[in-house]
Structure 1
């Protein structure tokens, strides 16, 4: 058993989950609130994602002996924040099930690569950038509301990125928490260390919600999360079969969606923290770090109510700022990828603008319409040989 208790494995696993939670848990929290979830349902969301990621991470890492880390879909959560207001909670759960069913089918049939080829990467990243843009735009209003706190967070973020620190986001979050606490703007009185009771929601299925939310959630999760997640494994020399991994993330989504588990996928950035030489000189033993990631996620899931209360205690400006700053890199990379192909640039910018505009048409959200218009323009340009 001693091999499972290496300090390097444990610390790498802890850092990975710390980066994951400080970078994205606030967005998941906002997504649950946007769905009209009650406090108990918000806790259930965090229970579902933590338990599911923990179980899958441990099981797949031990089975394949590869550092496999499962994560929630951060871009998916961002999509939900902007798309779920006004949608019935049961319809949202139906959309989660629809998304997970599509992911499962892709995994079981081995259609993963074929499906993704139908959507040009430039359009998928343009849609993602449009979804995330509003988070970046929220940083300055947050600065106006809490100038000292958010200003210090932005400064910390800039210095961290300048120094190329992998801990820029956790440090930024820590500065925001410390300043908020010293100004008495964090109310921890309602937080207690209690086990979370999951809340079941019977799903309902509305076609416009399935098309407007479920389908974009599937595309964003596959294109911006699963594709890079598999690429990170390959880049580190792990030739784990992709289809079974994708299939399991979808299957767990089917199980946990009624409790708030909206979408699961392969981790990319945080997974890379567990794959370097500093984790273990022997690549064959690095999977032990992701086993510990699974353990920490499972524990975080058990105490989802505490995690939910923790984020609810923060000032809204802090939550908005950390969400926006954490996604700036993704927004920049997505725009760069979307516009780098000259032949698809016109279609990509239309996809981006329509998606970023927000709102709905025929009760269907703009991510779907942005992607649809982009695909039409892209197809016409390809057909007639125009850029």
Structure 2
């Protein structure tokens, strides 16, 4: 017997998609998709720094978009929830760093084992326990710390590119106030594109190319599993799922399928291991965009996640072209759009973080996630949760639900004995 949560199903999904599609969730899905495409630059930068082959880097990102885009179509459609799928950025940094040490095939073998562990965790239904051990204020503190950099990157261009940054940001807020039927993200994007056209941005270096994923057979070594596979499994189960679930719950969704998200991520990660990709999981920043109020009506935001998956799949084969296009754009454009899309998510995350319980753990999770520190080669997001929980256990023990449950059970048993 599994503990996978049931969803609405696929039977009426196409019809419901067309019924629920509107300009708000369309624009949010496009923004999340464009953000996901630009996130591939992180993989390329990390891989280049590690000395990895340029062709491998390209098929790595193509696989990331195609495989996770495919899962990103089905998961939100089945559950009718804004659950876009992508891959773990901390996992990507670990993957790039470990390949020169253990070899690509061994790293992918460790990926396969990490996916299997994630699948078992989802099927066993342990995510309820994980979510209790990592309380929501601490999760949202970590999320706020991760997303804060997107807010900072949004306002940073006001120093180096004041005019276009001011035009885009003002266009967003003015349209939000005056043009109720037009999504402010679309207005901000159009304002940025208009400025680029006016200022004469050079797109002459954009080159067209088509690339597809390549099959590879993983190998298994204990060294690769201990150095990379086990940390990746901990990241997928203990960080990526709680972060994504926390974001969706923070936007007002009560029932979020944490076990299914973990299990599906495990299956996707196991498939990924055969195509030069390191993981599949819920996409936290993209989730923030698709689940935010900018995506429109609460019960129709799932459409934005499906659109994100479609953008991933359509953009995947042409990613070489997309990279050259993104690199030709001024850096402020995507930074401002992503920041504007996430502003209200950051606000909600901060409110949950300081909602009354686990405040000390929450602030430590926030500060650690913001700092970007790395310990044992594992990024700040993971340690934000670990150390945030540790601090809260020390100073806020009574805030934990399992502590309260034990106390109540103990009192009940004493009452029975007394009776």
Equivalent position of 1:117 in the other structure: 132
2:384 aligned residue (366, 370, 373): 370
Count residues with an aligned counterpart.
368
Equivalent position of 2:203 in the other structure: 187
Structure 1 pair 242–277 and aligned structure 2 pair: CA distance change class (3 A) = closer
Alpha-carbon shift at residue 378 of structure 1 (Å): 0.8
Q: Distance in 2 between matches of 1:369 and 1:240?
A: 24
Equivalent position of 1:197 in the other structure: 212
With structure 1 as the length reference, what TM-score do the two structures score? Answer: 0.73
Deviations 1:135-174 (A, max 9, x none): 3223343222222222212212333444577733343233
Alpha-carbon shift at residue 45 of structure 1 (Å): 4.7
Structure 1 pair 256–356 and aligned structure 2 pair: CA distance change class (3 A) = same
Task: Tell me if structure 2 keeps the 8 A contact 1:34–1:84.
Answer: no
With structure 2 as the length reference, what TM-score do the two structures score? Answer: 0.68
Structure 1 pair 278–86 and aligned structure 2 pair: CA distance change class (3 A) = closer
Paired residue secondary structure (2:206): coil
| Aligned pairs for 1:1-387 within 5 A | 14-15=26-27, 17-36=29-48, 40-41=55-56, 43-59=58-74, 64=78, 67=80, 70-73=83-86, 76-77=88-89, 87-88=97-98, 100-162=115-177, 167-192=183-208, 194-198=209-213, 205=224, 207=226, 215-216=234-235, 218-229=237-248, 243-256=259-272, 259-260=276-277, 262-265=279-282, 267=287, 270=290, 295-341=310-356, 343-383=357-397
Alpha-carbon shift at residue 216 of structure 1 (Å): 4.4
Deviates more, 1:123-132 or 1:225-234: 225-234
Larger Rg: 2
Task: Tell me if structure 1 keeps the 8 A contact 2:140–2:246.
Answer: no
Task: Tell me if structure 2 keeps the 8 A contact 1:44–1:199.
Answer: yes
Alpha-carbon shift at residue 119 of structure 1 (Å): 0.6
Q: Which runs of 5+ in 2 are unaligned?
A: 1-12, 401-419
Equivalent position of 1:283 in the other structure: none
Structure 1 pair 22–293 and aligned structure 2 pair: CA distance change class (3 A) = closer
Q: Distance in 1 between matches of 2:336 and 2:296?
A: 29
Q: Which runs of 5+ in 1 are unaligned?
A: 280-285
Task: Tell me if structure 2 keeps the 8 A contact 1:54–1:293.
Answer: yes
Paired residue secondary structure (1:197): coil
Alpha-carbon shift at residue 374 of structure 1 (Å): 1.9
Q: Distance in 1 between matches of 2:375 and 2:258?
A: 36
Task: Tell me if structure 2 keeps the 8 A contact 1:55–1:298.
Answer: yes
Task: Tell me if structure 1 keeps the 8 A contact 2:145–2:366.
Answer: yes
Deviations 1:30-56 (A, max 9, x none): 354244376645543543243224433
Report the aligned-residue RMSD. Answer: 4.5
